[in-house]
Chains A and B, each alone.
Chain A
Amino acid sequence: NAGVTQTPKFQVLKTGQSMTLQCAQDMNHEYMSWYRQDPGMGLRLIHYSVGAGITDQGEVPNGYNVSRSTTEDFPLRLLSAAPSQTSVYFCASSYSEGTLSYEQYFGPGTRLTVT
């Protein structure tokens, strides 16, 4: 099992550019999430999905889009990058039973810098 994979590991964008951060998991987990981590801010939820075709906003969704066409993949799109989106981005997945989700497995993270 590869677990949760994320690409790229590092990315530098100019203000206004768009890009997609890729996330995939091979554990057949229903729940998938995207977080950003800034110094002193912990992990803040951007968007999440409880299954293929279902997505919802988290705490800080503005400037980001997601889709979940398969159980395995959950890409995060930055529509028009801004310096405030400079951060480390983590994708995570978890097994669930009904509304109870278990521990999240995290990808290695993507360090994004917007200049």
Chain B
Amino acid sequence: EDKVVQSPLSLVVHEGDTVTLNCSYEVTNFRSLLWYKQEKKAPTFLFMLTSSGIEKKSGRLSSILDKKELFSILNITATQTGDSAVYLCAVALTFGTGTRLTIIP
């Protein structure tokens, strides 16, 4: 059975801090790992990672994959209140439980 584990489950930081969210996985046939952001509604796509060691970046968000150690991290620098959300990691169609990030002004 495919398994995706995210940590921490929740995180509260002050605006301007940098955060790192973790995702580890055990799957039978890895093809890609995806990160999503979920505010009050449906998840929206952030990154798709298929190759080890190649960082994907979008503004203050970045993500990297380690296929040998079977994990990925999502970094958010200079956090803003708009970054408050649940961040979900998925491998194929299997999702982790998410990390709830709260940014305090």
In the complex, B48 has a CB within 8 A of chain A: yes
The reply to whether B97 and A90 form a contact with Cβ atoms under 8 Å apart is: no
Shortest Cβ distance from residue B1 to the other chain A in the assembled complex, whole angstroms: 8
Interface residue count on the B side (C-beta < 8 Å): 23
Shortest Cβ distance from residue B43 to the other chain A in the assembled complex, whole angstroms: 6
The reply to whether B93 and A33 form a contact with Cβ atoms under 8 Å apart is: yes
The reply to whether A103 and B41 form a contact with Cβ atoms under 8 Å apart is: no
The reply to whether A100 and B97 form a contact with Cβ atoms under 8 Å apart is: no
The reply to whether A90 and B42 form a contact with Cβ atoms under 8 Å apart is: yes
Contact with B along A45-61 (1 / 0, CB 8 A): 10010000000001100
* Chain B contact residues: helix, strand, loop or mixed: loop
The reply to whether A48 and B93 form a contact with Cβ atoms under 8 Å apart is: yes
Complex Cα–Cα for A59 and B1 (A): 9
Contact with A along B20-42 (1 / 0, CB 8 A): 00000000010110101000011
Shortest Cβ distance from residue B74 to the other chain A in the assembled complex, whole angstroms: 15
Q: Which residues of A sit under 8 angstroms from B1, Cβ to Cβ?
A: 59
Q: Which residues of B sit under 8 angstroms from A90, Cβ to Cβ?
A: 42-43
In the complex, B88 has a CB within 8 A of chain A: yes
The reply to whether A103 and B48 form a contact with Cβ atoms under 8 Å apart is: yes
Output the nearest chain B residue to A41 by Cβ-Cβ distance.
B97
Complex Cα–Cα for A42 and B9 (A): 11
**B residues adjacent to A (C-beta < 8 A):** 1, 9, 29, 31-32, 34, 36, 41-45, 48, 50, 88, 90, 92-98
The 8 listed contacts between A and B (C-beta, < 8 Å) are A33-B93, A41-B97, A42-B96, A43-B90, A45-B95, A90-B42, A108-B42, A109-B42
